Structure 1
Amino acid sequence: MTSRPPARSTAGPAAAGIGTRTLVHALVREDGTVDAGELYAVAEALGMTDQQVRLCVKRLVGEGRFTQEGRGRKARLHATADATGSIAPDVEYVRHAFRQDRGLAPWDGTWHLFAFAIPESSRQARDALRDTLLHLGAAPLQGGLYVSANAIGEIVEAHARGLGVLSSLTRLTSRDLRVGEEDDPARLAALLWPLPAVAERHEALAALAAARLALLSGPDRPTGIERLTFAIELAAAFTDAMEPDPLLPPELLPQPWPGTRARALAAQCWDALAAGEAQDPARLRLFRLYGGVGSAAAQPGGN
């Protein structure tokens, strides 16, 4: 077998966004443990230092999120609760993305608008409602007025009710949106959303997934540590690409849209990684969280 460079030499920008805390959470196995030997080896592959890992473990144990058995690379961490919430994908959000990619969620031409005027005395609730709208992919039109191409009204209303500001929220729909003199839907989308920046993140995901697929299907079988590193890189890059994506309908996006290719490649890469872990009863919880998110969600009729 010929030698290959360590995984960190090909990690690219995706690895730079992976924090030590995220890494520890990502390496939790189905039995709730983290093998410190794997943790330090994957951290090294991602360009992290032993000192960074030690400090992170110390903080997590101090917070009561993990207990530690043993020391150094021979230690074993035990999660005291499910530590995967910060790395779990939003399954419904991802499923909708794959349905759009397959042409199963066509746009009906309706714009969904949300307006609110919440006083300074309720600033925290106002900021939380704004953040909810932005997280759901809505774009600001002007102060207190947001627009989405997706039917997110019920979700926004539920958040407003929980924040105690439902009476300050106005919802409406329109098939006739104009900003200045622009009323063409696709040009409005390009005006309102930072599509080049979103596309750039998807291109980074596609490049990473394609590179990892090439290694997984190449003549040199990746080591166990390399496969773990690939999985964590892929999960981090997928999150990095999806979080700022408003999931605009294909009718509003430039074609071909990089997100479609990136998600397809990521699903293929994840399937290839998961295949090697299928028989391992102590596999990472990460494989259960992401397993089938792409391939199953993309099946016709998945909703």
Structure 2
Amino acid sequence: MTPDAAAPDSSPDSSAVPVPDPAPVPTRMLVHALVREDGTVDAGELYTVAGLLGMTDQQVRLCVKRLVAEGRFTHEGRGRKAVLRAVADATGAYAPDAAYVRLAYRQDHGLAPWDGVWHLFAFAVPESERAARDALRDTLLHLGAAPLHGGLYACAHPIGPLVEARARELGVAAAVTSLTSTDLRVGGVVDPPALAAALWPLDGIAARHDELADFARSCLDRLGRPEPLASAERLSLAVRLAAVFSYAMTPDPLLPAELLPRPWPGTRARHLMATCWTALARHPATNGSTPLPRLFALYEDLAG
């Protein structure tokens, strides 16, 4: 799919917010993020927003070609007048886990206090089933568990049912042991916040949230200006904010407030993100009749 020769220049707009992204937006994510409620993506809008995000037309063309070849989208028409149509629900390519994000905000508001219970998981999967062993380990890490020793992990949340389901799926359920404890001791450390600081890379997680907070503040500064946003700039800000939010949240085990330093940067960053998203969703665009992508409804619901 090639842009029309007479199409407007897709180079970055000088009016866009000049904020460095800690998490550049992948081209594939951009395509999925611009899917509208009717399942379509306007190619002209796609190329314009891509330009604002520093992507080349060639990057977009190649990405669209791959997505069509994979059967994820079909396209009708040519160049910037083309329309892409999602073959299936494309939100999974950019959507955060809704339950995970809602837990984060519940904790931020003091609605999910910690019960003082550590959830422990041990497994001994043989080398002959290495792929299953690695997949189970990755699942534990993804769910916010931290390694204590070889094959032994701890988590502050009751993730047992999810771990057991994954172990059954991998065919290694018999190799998994789980238990709970209220007096976990690691190398003589027993104080829960001290254990959390020793087991999870809190400094690195906090730094990502600081970057999210900085980016959200920069967006709020732009939204506070009297001039309306062009539709493409509004969309580019939305996509960038979603990408930076995902970047900050991906390594976060969502430890309960009782285990974290005070104040915790994640709480402030998520508050700013929600404030920014609400302002962005309500901010008038110069061509406000343009249909908004699913991204707006998704994040407005999660951050609301």
Report the counterpart of residue 281 of structure 2 in structure 1: 274
Of residues 256, 274, 279 in structure 2, which corresponds to 1:249?
256
CA distance in 1, matches of 2:43, 2:273: 28
Question: How many Å separate the matches in 2 of 1:276 and 1:67?
Answer: 32
Task: Give % identity.
Answer: 65
Aligned partners of 2:21 and 2:244 also within 8 Å: no
The residue number in structure 2 matching 1:12 is: 21
| Contact 1:137–1:245, Cα closer than 8 Å, also in 2 | yes
Q: Which has the higher contact order (CA 8 A, sep 6+)?
A: 1
Match of 2:293 among 261, 277, 284: 284
Q: Letter of the 1:292 partner, please give it.
A: D
- Residues of 2 paired with 1:47 and 1:80: CA distance? 27
- The match for 1:73 is 80
Moved over 4 A (4+): 276-281
Q: What SS does structure 1 have at the residue aligned with 2:106?
A: helix
Asked if structure 1 preserves the Cα contact closer than 8 Å seen for 2:68 and 2:75, the reply is yes
Match of 2:222 in 1: 215
Structure 1 residue matching 2:75: 3-state secondary structure: strand
Separation (CA, whole Å) in 1 of partners of 2:242 and 2:146 = 26
Q: Deviations over 1:204-257 (max 9, x none)?
A: 111111111121122122111111001101111111111100000111111110
Q: Which is worse superposed, 246-255 or 67-76?
A: 67-76
Counterpart residue number, 1:136: 143
Amino acid paired to 1:7:
A
Q: Where in structure 1 are there 5+ consecutive unaligned residues?
A: 296-303
Aligned-partner Cα distance in 1 for 2:52–2:290: 24
Q: Could you tell me which amino acid in structure 2 is paired with residue 77 of structure 1?
A: L
Tell me whether 1:61 sits opposite 2:68 in the alignment: yes
Which residue of structure 1 lines up, in the alignment, with residue 205 of structure 2? 198
Residues 128-186 of structure 1 deviation map (CA, whole Å, 9 limit, x = unaligned): 11111000000000110000011111111121122221111111111111111211111
1:125 aligns with 2:122: no
Q: Which residue of 2 aligns with 1:298?
A: none
Pick which of 65-74 and 42-51 moved more: 65-74
Kindly indicate whether the alpha-carbon contact (under 8 Å) linking 1:206 and 1:265 is maintained by their aligned counterparts in 2.
yes
Return closer, same or farther for 1:150/1:41 CA change in 2, 3 Å cut-off.
Answer: same
In structure 2, list runs of 5 or more residues that go unmatched: 1-12
Q: Is the 8 A contact 1:138 1:148 kept in 2?
A: yes
Higher mean alpha-carbon deviation, 283-292 vs 248-257, is at 283-292
Amino acid in structure 2 at the alignment position of 1:139:
A
Is the contact made by 1:8 and 1:45 (CA closer than 8 Å) also made in structure 2?
no
> In the alignment, is residue 36 of structure 1 matched against residue 68 of structure 2?
no
Corresponding residue to 1:186 among 182, 193, 198: 193
Residue 100 of structure 2 corresponds to residue 89 of structure 1: no
2:4 paired residue number: none
Question: Contact between 1:139 and 1:148, CA under 8 Å: does it hold in 2?
Answer: yes
TM-score between the two structures when normalised by the length of structure 1: 0.91
Matching residue within 47, 52, 57 for 1:45: 52
Matched residue SS, 2:93: coil
Q: How many residues end up aligned between the 2 structures? A: 290
Is the CA contact (8 Å cut-off) linking 2:75 and 2:84 kept in structure 1?
yes
Partner of 1:299: none
What is the SS of the residue equivalent to 1:133?
A: helix
Cα drift, residue 7 of structure 1:
2.1
- CA–CA separation in structure 2 for the residues paired with 1:60 and 1:277: 32
* 2:163 maps to which of 150, 156, 162: 156
What displacement does 1:276 show?
A: 4.2
**Which stretch has the larger CA shift, 78-87 or 252-261?**
78-87
- RMSD value, Cα: 1.8
| Contact 2:119-2:181 within 8 A present in 1 as well | yes
